[in-house]
């Protein structure tokens, strides 16, 4: 794991700001993601629910870079406000799998996924595959604030069911 650079902090802040665009939902976290190439140029952004209510942020950003003009993603970094998921109910591939398949070599996150919706092993899985995972946890409080409605729901009903709220 490398130390975060000033650039890393700046791009991660952009991902966190982007996560505020996610339509609020009791069923998922609001997450933002930014993909940046080796020269420091932004390639794509995404946020939860951007084009499809089930779209995760990383998935939404990666989807913009696939197709006939698929960018070379070797040596690129994805900044995500929350740890990439490893379990999806509504998709065949988790965001962690999509990141690995894209060949992204560095992942920067603010917060590990709390055990609320699914058991998440994003950091461990990515590191095991050789990806440089950098955690800038002092920005995690911003992600917690943006997702405060979920934490409240968890405290009130013990995480048994999040349906019917908001």
Residue closer to Zn ion by CB (options 62, 142) is 62
Look up 6 and say whether it is catalytic.
no
Give whichever of 40 and 47 is closer to Zn ion, judged by the CB atom. Answer: 47
- For 77, the 3-state DSSP assignment is strand
- Min dist CB 88 to Zn ion, Å, is 6
Q: Is 56 in the site for Zn ion (CB under 5 A)?
A: yes
Distance of CA 24 to the CA centre of its chain: 16
Cβ at position 63, least distance to Zn ion in Å: 12
Q: Does 62 bind Zn ion (CB under 5 A)?
A: no
The footprint of Zn ion on this chain (CB under 5 A) covers a number of residues equal to 3
Q: Are strands 77-82 and 106-111 parallel, antiparallel or unpaired?
A: parallel
- Name 152's Cβ contacts closer than 8 Å, sequence gap at least 6: none
Q: Least separation, in Å, of the C-beta of 114 and Zn ion?
A: 14
The catalytically annotated residue of 6, 50, 58, 59 is: 58
Spatial separation of the C-alpha atoms in residues 57 and 1, rounded to whole Å: 23
Q: What tokens does 150 get?
A: 């979920």
- Contact call for residues 51 and 61 (beta carbons, < 8 A): no
- Annotate each residue in 83-112 with x if it binds Zn ion (CB under 5 A) or - if it does not, as one string: --x---------x-----------------
Question: Residue 115 class from Cβ within 10 Å (0-12 exposed, 13-18 middle, 19+ buried)?
Answer: exposed
Decide whether 99 or 157 has the Cβ nearer to Zn ion.
Answer: 99
**Would you please indicate which residues are annotated as catalytic (active-site) residues?**
58
What is the contact surface with Zn ion in residues (CB under 5 A)? 56, 85, 95
């Amino acid at each position: 794991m490398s130390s975060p650079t000033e650039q890393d902090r700046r791009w991660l802040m952009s991902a966190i700001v982007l996560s505020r665009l996610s339509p609020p939902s009791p069923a998922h976290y609001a997450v933002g993601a930014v993909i940046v190439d080796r020269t420091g140029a932004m390639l794509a952004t995404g946020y939860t629910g951007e084009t499809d209510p089930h779209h995760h942020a990383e998935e939404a950003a990666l989807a913009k870079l696939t197709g006939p003009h698929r960018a070379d993603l070797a040596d690129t970094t994805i900044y995500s406000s929350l740890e990439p998921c490893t379990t999806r109910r509504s998709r065949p591939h988790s965001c962690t799998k999509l990141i690995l398949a894209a060949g992204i070599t560095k992942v920067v996150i603010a917060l590990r996924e709390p055990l609320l919706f699914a058991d998440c092993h994003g950091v461990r899985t990515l590191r095991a595959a050789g990806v440089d995972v950098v955690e800038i946890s002092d920005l995690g409080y911003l992600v917690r604030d943006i997702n405060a409605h979920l934490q409240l729901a968890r405290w009130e009903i013990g995480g048994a069911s999040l349906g019917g709220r908001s």
